Structure 1
Amino acid sequence: MQDFIAHPGEHWRTDNEAQLLINGEEFFPSVFAAIGGAREEVLIETFIFRDDKVGRELQQALIDAAQRGVRVEMLVDGYGSDELQAPFIRAMTDAGVHLLAFDPQPRRFGVRTNLFRRLHRKHVVVDGEIGFVGGINYCADHLADYGPMAKQDYAMRVRGPIVADLHRATLKLMDETSRLTRAARPWLSRGPAPDADTAKARMLLSVRDNTEHTNDIEQHYLHAVTHARQRIIIANAYFFPGYRLLRELRNAARRGVDVTLILQGMPDIPLMRLCSRLLYNYLLRDGVVIREYTERPLHGKVALVDERWATVGSSNLDPLSLSLNLEGNLIIDDRAFNARLHEHLHELSQTKCKSIPLERVLRGYWWRAPIIFVCFHFLRHFPAIVGLLPAHSPKLKPMLPTPGVTPVTPAFDQEKAS
């Protein structure tokens, strides 16, 4: 893609280092090493934080940082991380870790009810100098030794001016939404500048929220796909996008762009694969190539267009991510990063995916056609439908175990009852 045109008001940052991290084997050591070297501040946002071998390693890294005087703040989602127990939390808070829960709600008859408008971002900022953005949670199922249901996923490690935007976005959510009083913190980037030989990437942080940036990430996808001239590869775990993006993918294939979708073939949520497959005929009949990743569950949210544009982040292309959840993606304009991601995704699609032919999809199409018609129109009007749901303002609450009590219920439920 030739130096694509940014939307008005966007803040592109030049001269950044961009490193692709594939799966937990590359992501966790990089994050833990950055935390281990922190001098002043560690900020973390995540959807899932679990008491398993990965969660305990992160817990210890944060405790060690807090005990040597680093300010450590972590924000976890009240739905995705609602099983943390009080002893696990107490070990962190006693060491000085500031732990917050995004919109915790009690279970109803043992069922989590706070499904919508979740914190789904995965951000890390260390000393205002090193940042991480992606789709990887802090749990063991992002490691290959977890077994056949280990997830395939991606993240980025970045340095340079883009980290300032990531730092501000994370503090904005932690400080303003929680209404907590904290000492003012200046921008902390006082460490060594990125290597001039490797800091070539132009980047933009795009977030999705329910107030000012309701469709920013989707608009970046639409803009890139609409202007594509050579190739599009999208690897996305939960693919059920809006009508406009489906139409532009089909239009790109019609004008000769090589369009490849890498989707789940071994789903962790079977319903989502069923939804995706309802769209296959619409895309395949105009030349879009669909490959299902079958080695393990695909959890990635990455894409590339032509030879420069790429994105890595937390946003799926489904109604929850595009219309409800808080999400964060990096948009990257860099030929070298695009080539690295293309090399990986091309190899993945050729060696670990099965191709979905149009002939297979057409079998039984007569009874699926009415369902597909309804799906298209539902997708087209989904944002308006969602707008009818109550738009409460989620609150952040400190995660503090009740003194003298060892709960047998999840810490979120106990905090609510206290």
Structure 2
Amino acid sequence: MGAAIDARGFEIAGGMGCVRAAWTSRTFRCPVDGVRIAANARFQAMRFGTEAMRRWLTALFVLLLAGCTTLPPRIAPPTSSAIADGGGTPLGRIAATSLADAPGGSSGFRLLPSGEMAFDARLALAEAATRSIDAQYYHIHADTAGAAFLAALRDAAVRGVRVRLLVDDYHAGDLYPALRGLAAFPNVEVRLFNPLPERYGTPIRRLLLSLHEFTRVNRRMHNKLFVADNQFAVYGGRNIADEYFTRHGEANFIDLDVLSAGAVVRDLSASFDRYWNSEQVWALEQRLHALERASKPAERRADFDLRLKEFAGPPPVVPPLDYLRQSTVRVQLAQGRLQLLAGSARVHDDPPDKVLQPVDTNKASPAMRAKLDVIAAAREEVVVVNPYFLPGPVGLRMMGEAQKRGTRVLIVTNSLGSTDEPLVYRAYSRYRADMLRLGVQLYEFGPELVQRSNTFGVFGKSTPRLHAKVVGVDRRWMVVGSVNLDLRSAVLNTELGVTIDCAALTRQALGLLRADAFASMYRLQLGEDGQTVEWHLRDDSGKTQVRHDEPHASLWQGISLWLQSLFVSENDL
């Protein structure tokens, strides 16, 4: 955390320096949804992205390899680019008016903390688009959110809007029938990133039948991006599935997106084009069976409409105001201007061929490096919000050096009760006492506390889980996107991150934590012996309670996690 930022706030003297070794080492590895195998409606998962797991799986399923399929030679689809003249569209005029109301920067920004509003913002932009929609996602699920999203793309295409949809192939097996129907509409083109040899079925089935290409298929496109008319863009941590938009009955994610207009949108569109036209992307049509390709477009369109009805649900209830007292994007679009905060930004995307490059654990790719550089530049305060946190000994040393310089370090992560990766949490727990001794302020989301406070949404009986990946530095810079602070994001998956220089936006994001006054979290402190960890929380009366036992822990879970840890080391998480 010791390099300097230049006058623009981006170029860091000395490059990665010692930071790379700390934050991209194998001791800073935490799970990412890109390599999870759904075992309980997508919430219980296991990792397959390590050599140890690879050897185990290969030995266990070696008999399957004889029947594995292979990819045919790729047929390069035609190249295309983002529209360059979107300024004359209705969205272009709204963007210009909104930016004029927020002078002082090349771009304008708005936080989307509410899941319901973030989803409605995508739908509203899709409905307002008149020229183009570019959408790039790691995961679109066949549920009510996925149905509404795909329907919005279809409706836009019917209006004459060019729709380009790029989806990572890992979770697309169950979505193929819907995607082939969507692609049959005029003005729609669907492409797949880094396809698995096996076309259909669940991720676990497709992965097991692709073990002969494990090194390649283990590396995924984790980017999340939505661009309308090359005028407005939405990016952050959310995929397209119910749990990202507070629509799931069992568990829902606390996440964050940013909506932007101005120069940064053109940079994001350029990133989309790099992926869309890359050699790692295949046309959906090439992945369909011959009989599917031979079916009439009208039949495929009719089948698409029927399939959407199967998993569609009632329209979501969107609150009139979010946690920041902002009205919906839909309402502001109707009014002809969006309330944006002025600033500047840089887009940091990994090259699409990262999935084919040799793995070098000592070298972070561009999206990760940019995030680390901003963290390294902290002088007064660094706030890290991350669902999984494994600092390792080098990370602990960095925290100690930051504290000596007077830099406040605050970390917000999941508790055992809110995490969807308990084995990773167990590994993280070994570092808590050391971090607290260094003076780090450490908070963990408590699911029952989040449900009670309602600061981050109304979750009802569903379990709230932190999924946001945000860094705030010196109350000025903010990094948001798909980048997790783990080895997978650093060297395996492709990622998209945006570094924003906008003090007002950063204060707004950090204000969400302060508005909650950490009522949704346990504050961890050391006990009187200086060794044990205590969980401090406020009860309904506002009084502080102290828990000496791990909240939500059970004897059976402890034994189960211990047994798992015997076979999976921290380096393999």
Range of TM-score over shorter length: 0.7 to 0.9
What residue number does 1:224 align with? 374
User: Paired residue for 1:239, among 385, 389, 397?
Assistant: 389
Q: Deviations over 1:258-305 (max 9, x none)?
A: 211110111112222223223323322211111111231101001101
Unaligned runs of 5+ in 1: 182-193, 383-418
Correspondences of 1:284-303 after superposition (within 5 Å): 284-295=436-447, 296-303=464-471
Q: What's the TM-score, normalizing by structure 2?
A: 0.56
Change (3 A) 1:290 1:81: farther
Q: Deviations over 1:131-163 (max 9, x none)?
A: 111010111112334235111001110000011
AA partner of residue 44 (structure 1): A
CA distance in 2 between partners of 1:122 and 1:354 (Å) = 30
Q: Deviations over 1:227-286 (max 9, x none)?
A: 322222111112235765554333212322221111011111222222322332332221
SS in 2 for 1:297: strand
What residue number does 1:261 align with? 411
SS in 2 for 1:201: strand
What residue number does 1:338 align with? 506
What residue number does 1:312 align with? 480
In the TM superposition, residue 375 of structure 1 has moved relative to its aligned partner by 7.8
What residue number does 1:123 align with? 225
Q: Deviations over 1:326-376 (max 9, x none)?
A: 111110111110110110123346110101223499349xxx9xx9xx989
What residue number does 2:429 align with? 277
SS in 2 for 1:268: coil
Judge conservation of contact 1:241–1:319 (CA < 8 Å) in 2.
Answer: no
Correspondences of 1:2-13 after superposition (within 5 Å): 3=7, 5-7=9-11
SS in 2 for 1:49: coil
Change (3 A) 1:149 1:195: closer
What residue number does 1:362 align with? 531
User: Paired residue for 1:90, among 154, 174, 180?
Assistant: 180
Q: Indicate the structure (1 or 2) with the bigger Cα radius of gyration.
A: 2
CA distance in 2 between partners of 1:108 and 1:67 (Å) = 32
SS in 2 for 1:34: helix
- Single out whichever of 113-122 and 352-361 deviates more from structure 2: 352-361
Is 1:205 aligned to 2:347, yes or no? yes
In the TM superposition, residue 196 of structure 1 has moved relative to its aligned partner by 11
Judge conservation of contact 2:194–2:282 (CA < 8 Å) in 1.
Answer: no
AA partner of residue 205 (structure 1): V
What residue number does 1:386 align with? none
Number of aligned residues: 357
AA partner of residue 336 (structure 1): A
SS in 1 for 2:379: coil
CA distance in 2 between partners of 1:21 and 1:219 (Å) = 25
Change (3 A) 1:34 1:3: same
CA distance in 1 between partners of 2:159 and 2:494 (Å) = 32
CA distance in 2 between partners of 1:117 and 1:221 (Å) = 20
Judge conservation of contact 1:241–1:317 (CA < 8 Å) in 2.
Answer: no
Change (3 A) 1:82 1:14: farther
Correspondences of 1:5-404 after superposition (within 5 Å): 5-7=9-11, 14-86=105-177, 88-96=178-186, 97-105=188-196, 106=198, 110=205, 112-113=207-208, 116-178=218-280, 198=340, 200-209=342-351, 210=354, 214-240=364-390, 245-265=395-415, 266-295=418-447, 296-348=464-516, 350-359=518-527, 362-363=531-532
AA partner of residue 524 (structure 2): I
Judge conservation of contact 1:152–1:300 (CA < 8 Å) in 2.
Answer: yes
SS in 1 for 2:471: strand
AA partner of residue 410 (structure 2): T
SS in 2 for 1:202: strand
Q: What's the TM-score, normalizing by structure 1?
A: 0.76
Judge conservation of contact 1:50–1:138 (CA < 8 Å) in 2.
Answer: yes
Unaligned runs of 5+ in 2: 16-103, 209-213, 284-335, 448-463, 534-561
SS in 2 for 1:253: helix
Q: CA RMSD in A?
A: 3.4
Judge conservation of contact 1:49–1:139 (CA < 8 Å) in 2.
Answer: yes
